[in-house]
Chains A and B, each alone.
Chain A
Amino acid sequence: MIRQYFKQAWELIRQNKLFSIIYVAGTALAISMVMVIAIFFYLKTGNIYPELERNRLLFVKMAQITPKDTTERSNASAFLSLQTVKNCFYNLQSAEVATATLFTYKENYKVHTLGSTIDKKVYVKYTDANFWKVFQFRFLQGKPFSQEEFDSAIPSVVISESLSQHLFPNGQAIGEYFIMNEKEYHVNGVVKDASYLLSESFAHIWLPYTLHPNHTETFAQEGILGFFSVVILMKNSGDTRRVSEEIHTSLQRYSSNLTHNIDLLGQPDNVLASSFRMGNSPLDINDILQKFVFVLLIFMLVPAINLSGLNSSRMEKRLAEMGVRKAFGAPNSTLLNHILIENFLLTLIGAFVGLLISYLLITVFSDMLLSGLSILSSDIETVTGSTSGITPGMLINFTVFSQAFVAALIVNTLSAIIPAYRFTKKNITDSLSENYTN
Chain B
Amino acid sequence: MIQHILKQIWTQRRRNGWIFSELLLVFVLCWYIADYAFVMVHNRMIPNGYDITDTWQIVSGKNINDSTRSDFDRFLDKVKRFPGVQHIFATSDWGVTPFGGSYTGYQIQRDSTSTGYNAQTKRIGSNSYFDVFNIHSINTKQPARLFLSDYNTVMLTQNLAESLFGEESPIGKTVYFHNKTYRVTDVVENQKRFDYSQPGNVIFYPDDLNEMSSSEISIRTGSNFSLEQFKREVSSDIKSYRAIQRAQEFEWGITKEVRIRNGVMIFFLLNIALGVIGTFWFRNQTRRSEIGLRMAMGSSHRQIQIQYLIEALLILTLATIPAVFINIVILQADLIKTLGQEVTNSGYITANKWLRFLITNGITYILLATIVAFSAWIPARQASKVHPVEALRDE
Interface residues, chain A, with chain B CB atoms under 8 Å away: 18-19, 22, 25-26, 29, 33, 72-74, 105-108, 213-214, 278, 298-299, 301-303, 305-306, 308-310, 312-313, 316, 361, 365, 367-368, 370-371, 374-375, 378-380, 438
Contact = CB atoms under 8 A, between A and B. Distances in A.
A306 B61 contact: no
Contacts of A316: 286
B251 interface: yes
Interface centre among A73, A106, A305, A370 (most CB of B within 10 A): A305
A370 B247 CA distance: 12
Contacts of A361: 263
Among B270, B271, B279: residue with most chain A CB under 10 A = B271
B237 A313 contact: no
29 contacts: A18-B281, A19-B278, A22-B274, A26-B271, A26-B275, A29-B267, A72-B179, A73-B107, A105-B94, A108-B61, A213-B63, A301-B25, A302-B268, A305-B25, A306-B18, A306-B278, A309-B15, A309-B22, A309-B279, A310-B282, A312-B15, A313-B279, A365-B259, A368-B256, A368-B259, A371-B251, A374-B250, A378-B237, A380-B247
Given A309-B278, A371-B253, A379-B239, 12 more contacts: A18-B281, A22-B277, A26-B275, A74-B178, A106-B59, A302-B268, A302-B271, A306-B271, A313-B279, A365-B259, A368-B256, A380-B250
Contact of A29 (B12, B252, B274): B274
B75 to A, nearest CB: 15
Nearest to B270: A29
B274 A107 contact: no
Contacts of B255: 368
B91 to A, nearest CB: 15
A306 B12 CA distance: 17
A306 B15 contact: no
A201 B106 CA distance: 36
Interface string B2-42: 00000000001011001101100110010000000000000
A345 to B, nearest CB: 19
A19 B107 CA distance: 64
Contacts of A368: 255-256, 259-260
Given A106-B59, A312-B15, A375 B251 contact: yes
B172 interface: no
B101 interface: yes
Contacts, number: 97
A374 B279 CA distance: 46
Given A313-B15, A313-B282, A375-B101, A106 B61 contact: yes
Contacts of B239: 379
A316 to B, nearest CB: 8
Interface in B234-263: 237, 239, 247, 250-253, 255-256, 259-260, 263
A309 B107 contact: no
Chain A binding surface SS class: helix
Query: What size tier do the contact residues of chain B reach?
Result: 35 or more
Contact of A305 (B21, B179, B250): B21
A302 B15 contact: no
Contacts of B21: 305
A305 B253 contact: no
Nearest to A75: B105
Nearest to A23: B278
Nearest to A314: B282
B15 to A, nearest CB: 6
Q: Looking at A213, A306, A361, which has the most chain B CB atoms within 10 Å of its CB?
A: A306
A303 B15 CA distance: 17
Contacts of B59: 106, 108, 378
A29 to B, nearest CB: 6
Contacts of B15: 309, 312-313, 438
A260 B175 CA distance: 27
B203 to A, nearest CB: 15
A116 B15 CA distance: 74
Nearest to B267: A33
Contacts of B250: 367, 370-371, 374, 380
B22 A302 contact: yes
Interface string B44-81: 00000000000000010101000000000000000000
Nearest to B253: A371
A298 B179 CA distance: 51
A86 to B, nearest CB: 22
Contact of B29 (A74, A108, A298, A374): A298
B175 to A, nearest CB: 16
A105 B274 CA distance: 48
Contacts of A299: 267
A374 B281 CA distance: 48
A430 to B, nearest CB: 14
Nearest to A304: B22
Contacts of A72: 179
Of all A-B residue pairs in the complex, the 7 with the closest CB atoms, nearest first, are A309-B18, A313-B282, A306-B275, A305-B22, A375-B251, A368-B256, A374-B251
Contacts of B286: 316
